[in-house]
Structure formats: structure tokens, C-alpha cells
Amino acid sequence: MNNRVIVGLVQLSPAISPQQAVSSLPKNCFDVFALFCFTPTAVDGVGSVWSNECVEPKGRILAVDYGGKNIGLACCDELGLTIQPMPSLPNLGTAGFIKKLRSIADSLGIQEIVLGIPFKMDGTRGDAALRMEKLLEVLRAALEVPVVETDERLSTVEALEVWRGMNKKQQKKYRTVDSLAAAFILERRLKEM
């Protein structure tokens, strides 16, 4: 088996982040990717010393914004550097959702699923959060992929701001604002890791 491998060496500065370095690479041109980032630092005032930071593969993660009408989905790349909202699904019931989720997880090689839990603004669990926690337990029992929760407070508000700035063609691509909300949920999860 011949894998195409890219190894990148990037000097970080305030002007470039590891995410920007990776996003500048052509897509679908490699199977394995390693990025070694370094930041020049001064130690005891003596010149520059290079410290290495390594971007560890996290595996692909799928985020879910579960709504009564639509289910938003977003996934990240293997390194957890880029997030891609996916077309949302109509909510046709739990059984159909589990079947579709299993199919998506298998086809994309998902290592973890994140379900957004709508806590109240004061951090307590209301009725909506309790319903999502019940769904979380159902998903954990039905899927082989680990399923975790993440606080989704204000993710829909943030997503609506972005949605309103999109043109009709961009909006049609995602079908509903729910997948953008899932992208914000995934961003929070990646920051927690």
C-alpha cells in the first residue's frame, strides 16, 4: 500500500497559526499528514531557541445539534484543525437518526460523536437538557463510537449571526442553520480536549 505523506515544518508567529498552515495545503493530496510547528523563543536573553510543538491526531469527530425539526451535523479533520458543517438532516425519529448516524460514522471514520446539551444560562439542566441526556444514553447504547456531551449554550445564536451573513447559495448548501450550530458545538469540544 502506497500512502502519500506530507510532513510540514512551519515557523509560528502572531501572523500564522497551525490551523492556517494546514488550511493552505491542497486538499485530498495526502493520506498521512504530520505538521511540526516551532516558535522562536529567547531563553535568559541568549539568542533564539527553537521549541517544538506537535499537532497530535485526534481522529475525526462528528458534532450533533439535535432539534425537533432538524438535526445539524459538523465534522472535523483527523487533526482537529478544520471544521466542516454538513447538510442537516430532517428529524424523522430516533431510530432513523441512529441508523443514519451509524452510516455517517462508518463512512467518515468517525472516532467520537459529540452531542450538544442545551444547559440554561446559569449552567443548570432544564427540560431540554434532560431530554438530550436521555438521547445521549440511547446513542451510547446503540453506537460503537464513543458519544460525549458538550455545552451548546448560545451555539444557535452564534450560528444565526453567521447564517444571516451568508448568501442564498451558501445557505442552500447547509439546508438549515442547525449544521452551523453543530460546527460551533464541535469547536467547543475541540477546545476542551
Query: Is 31 in the same domain as 122?
Result: no
Q: What is the CATH number of the domain that holds 123?
A: 3.30.420.140
pLDDT (tens digit, 0 to 9) for every residue of the chain, 193 residues total? 344 444 444 444 445 555 565 555 555 554 444 554 444 444 444 444 444 455 566 789 999 999 889 999 999 988 888 888 898 899 999 999 999 999 999 999 999 999 999 888 887 888 888 999 999 999 999 999 999 998 887 777 777 788 888 888 877 776 678 888 898 899 889 888 8
* Beta strand segments in the chain, E: 5-11, 32-43, 46-54, 60-66, 70-76, 83-90, 110-117, 147-151
117: nearest Cα among 83, 144, 148, 95 = 148
| Domain around 23 | 5-54
